[in-house]
């Protein structure tokens, strides 16, 4: 099984994490641990030790710019009374391609596995979209950090996966589930996230209140947490009278808290909130909210701290971006039109309005914020963060095209045929017999620095792309690189360069070498 897990959790092979539980819990009941980074390759033997309980293994999903798996790390409000059931039900109900696993700390690791390498940025973006809709976790992997692996000490493990019936499963069944749920990167990126509506205006709630309602609470600070819940209720309906807000407060008190506040405490709190003028309590002034706070997301919620953000945010659909090596453009559906904007159009509201007018769409100025970022700034931030790369205009395709163009220019501007003495002079020499090109690395290096410094990070990168090989010596020149004439180079026009001092077949004197030598006529002597 250790070999199967090694294959399933392919990761950054330069290092792994070793952790050990301290035996202590934090104020939320989260198990605390010490960590050590080991700068060695991950082997099947390390995995075997993990399963045997000798090593507690943590891995980073990163494989360069790609990954084969990702994870949403759900940290509950209160670990002691936490149940994963709601999240398992969400995964089942919405057919999410995830495998939930109880974490080392007692929370939940929600894993996704891919059939082939997937771009990290796209994985992060999609996981964040799914997370914001269903889980509201604060940490998503890949994020250049290690995730603790499941089934440490597998025969007595507390870090096990759950099936769709919320039943813990053994490691063999986990491997089966993970392989069954593997998803193509393209299918994952195009996965349609269905709206999760626990309550009528659920998606507009502050994340902290969502977490409290979704998971419940059995710890301290009940007064403070109920305060935010009631501020939300007044934002939802500011016509509520004292009696009505009190009734709502009593319901929320019994719904959220394992040990509800007294009826009188709740009534007094409801009266205070009803007076008005209160805002949500947030970190750092109220650090008890740190585990369940997501300030950036909250700013985008109509009923959150960014309450000045208009609902027009929801009118922007199918947001994509197109990028090349120098520029980026954003596209979205808005008011029945497909709009294209540049960063310059997004710098202020006036520029944005002008751009929309060119699409025959009129833009009404957004109201000014009482404090903090303007609604327009938050709108632009939302567009940038939600944008997915256009599949019709992939940046990688653009880069490849530009790179091939640069290399084509290099070959066609430097090539000489069969003139190996010119290698030292900065030429690419084509061997007409083998159709192989030879050149010095310095020649390519100088060309890239002068003409295409942004296209390739290093000369070595260009050599790898061409799949060049090096030879120690070629015609007396040391360290020469060679490659078969690339197909994208127009070399049909290349002609053998004629040395001016060389004689061609068109010269009469050229044929003298093939004619018999004439005997000199004897000189007549005078008698």
Q: Is 346 helix (H, G, I), strand (E, B) or coil?
A: helix
In this predicted model, which residue has the larger pLDDT, 448 or 511? 448
522 lies in some domain: no
Give the C-alpha distances (Å, rounded to integers) separating 100 from 193, 210, 263, 390.
18, 20, 38, 31
Tens digit of each residue's pLDDT (9 = 90 or more) over 123-165 = 999 999 999 889 988 899 999 999 999 999 998 888 999 999 9
Give the phi and the psi of residue 460 in degrees, each rounded to 5.
Answer: -60, -35
* Confidence (pLDDT) at 83: 79
Q: In this prediction, what percent of the chain has a pLDDT beyond 70? A: 86
Structural domain of 477: 395-502
Residue 437 located in a structural domain: yes
- Do 11 and 155 have their domain in common? yes
Q: Left (φ > 0), alpha (ψ -120 to 50) or beta: where does 153 sit?
A: left
Mean pLDDT of the chain: 85
- Is 404 found in the same domain as 348? no
Higher per-residue confidence, 386 vs 515: 386
- Is residue 12 domain-shared with residue 92, that is, in the same domain? yes
Q: Do both 30 and 174 map to the same domain?
A: yes
Q: Are residues 52 and 118 in the same domain?
A: yes
Note whether residue 195 is domain-resident: no
Looking at the structure, tell me whether residues 281 and 318 fall in a common domain: no
Q: Confidence band (pLDDT; 50, 70, 90) for 26? A: confident
Q: Would residue 509 count as lying in a domain?
A: no
C-beta of residue 185 within 8 angstroms of C-beta of residue 122: yes
Neighbouring CB atoms inside 10 A of 401's CB total: 12
* Tens-digit pLDDT profile for residues 284-333: 889 889 888 888 788 778 788 865 445 666 788 889 988 766 678 899 99
Q: Are residues 340 and 441 in the same domain?
A: no
Q: What CATH number is attached to the domain comprising 100?
A: 3.90.920
Residues 140 and 274 placed together within one structural domain of the fold? no
* Confidence bin at 499 (pLDDT 50/70/90): very low
Considering the domain architecture, whether residues 172 and 26 belong to the same structural domain is answered as: yes
Closest CA to 210 of 95, 109, 76, 311: 76
Instruction: Kindly state whether residue 514 falls inside one of the protein's structural domains.
Output: no
Query: Where a domain ends, among 339, 365, 389?
Result: 389
Is there a contact between 356 and 339 (Cβ–Cβ < 8 Å)? Answer: yes
Where is pLDDT greater, at 506 or 413?
A: 413
Query: Same domain for 34 and 155?
Result: yes
pLDDT at position 350 = 93
Phi, psi of 422 (to 5 degrees): -95, 0
Q: Say whether pLDDT at 501 is over 90.
A: no
Query: Quick check: is 526 in a domain?
Result: no
pTM: 0.57
CB 83 within 8 A of CB 185: no
Residues 127 and 225 in one domain: no
What is the tens place of the pLDDT at every residue in 328-361?
A: 889 999 988 899 999 999 999 999 999 999 888 8
Do 485 and 403 belong to one domain? yes
Domain boundary among 335, 366, 389: 389
User: What local confidence, expressed as pLDDT, does residue 527 receive?
Assistant: 45
Count of domains forming the chain: 4
8 Å CB contact between 329 and 338: no
Strand order of the sheet with strand 337-341? 337-341, 328-334, 317-323, 388-389
Please check whether residue 304 lies inside any domain of the structure: no
Last residue of a domain, one of 237, 266, 299: 299
Q: Is residue 508 part of a domain?
A: no
- Express each pLDDT in 389-417 by its tens digit: 876 665 555 667 777 888 888 898 888 88
Does residue 54 register a pLDDT over 90? yes
């Amino acid at each position: 099984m250790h070999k199967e897990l090694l294959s399933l959790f392919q990761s950054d092979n330069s290092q792994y994490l070793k952790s050990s539980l301290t035996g202590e819990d934090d104020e939320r009941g989260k198990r605390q641990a010490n960590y050590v980074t080991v700068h060695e390759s991950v082997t099947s033997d390390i995995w075997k030790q993990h399963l045997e309980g000798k090593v507690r293994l943590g891995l980073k999903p990163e494989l360069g710019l790609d990954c084969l798996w990702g994870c949403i790390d759900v940290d509950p409000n209160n670990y002691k009374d936490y149940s994963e059931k709601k999240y398992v039900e969400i995964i089942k109900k919405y057919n999410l391609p995830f495998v939930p696993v109880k974490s080392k700390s007692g929370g939940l690791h929600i894993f996704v596995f891919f059939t082939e390498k997937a771009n990290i940025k796209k994985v992060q973006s999609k996981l964040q979209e799914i997370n914001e809709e269903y889980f509201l976790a604060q940490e998503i992997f890949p994020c250049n950090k290690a995730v603790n692996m499941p089934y440490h000490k597998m025969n007595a493990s507390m870090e096990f996966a759950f099936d769709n019936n919320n039943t813990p499963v053994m490691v063999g069944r986990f491997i089966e589930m993970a392989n069954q749920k593997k998803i193509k990167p393209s299918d994952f990126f195009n996965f349609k996230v269905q709206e999760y509506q626990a309550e009528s205006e659920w998606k507009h709630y502050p994340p902290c209140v969502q977490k409290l309602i979704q998971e419940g609470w059995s710890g301290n600070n009940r007064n403070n947490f109920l305060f935010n819940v009631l501020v939300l209720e007044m934002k939802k309906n500011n016509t509520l009278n004292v009696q009505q807000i009190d009734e709502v407060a009593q319901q929320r008190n019994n719904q959220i808290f394992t040990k509800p506040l007294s009826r009188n405490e709740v009534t007094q709190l409801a009266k205070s909130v009803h007076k008005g003028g209160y805002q949500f309590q947030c970190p750092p002034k109220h650090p008890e909210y740190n585990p369940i706070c997501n300030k950036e997301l909250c700013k985008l919620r109509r009923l959150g701290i960014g309450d000045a953000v208009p609902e027009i945010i929801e009118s922007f659909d199918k947001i994509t971006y197109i990028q090349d090596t120098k520029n980026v453009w954003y596209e979205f559906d808005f008011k029945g039109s497909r709009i294209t904007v540049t960063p310059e159009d997004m710098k202020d509201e006036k520029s944005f309005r002008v751009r929309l007018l060119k699409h025959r769409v009129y833009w009404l100025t957004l109201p000014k914020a009482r404090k903090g970022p303007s609604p327009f700034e938050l709108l632009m931030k939302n567009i940038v963060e939600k944008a997915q790369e256009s599949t019709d205009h992939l940046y990688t395709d653009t880069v490849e095209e530009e790179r091939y163009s640069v290399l084509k220019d290099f070959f066609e501007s430097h090539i000489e045929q069969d003139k190996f003495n010119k290698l030292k002079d900065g030429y690419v020499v084509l061997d007409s017999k083998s159709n192989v090109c030879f050149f010095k690395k310095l020649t390519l290096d100088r060309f890239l620095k002068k003409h295409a410094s942004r296209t390739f990070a290093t000369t070595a990168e260009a050599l790898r792309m061409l799949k060049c090989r090096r030879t120690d010596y070629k015609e007396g020149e040391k360290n020469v690189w060679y490659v078969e004439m690339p197909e994208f180079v127009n070399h049909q026009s290349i002609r053998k360069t004629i040395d001016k001092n060389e004689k061609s077949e068109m010269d009469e004197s050229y044929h003298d070498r093939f004619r018999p030598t004439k005997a000199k006529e004897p000189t007549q002597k005078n008698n």
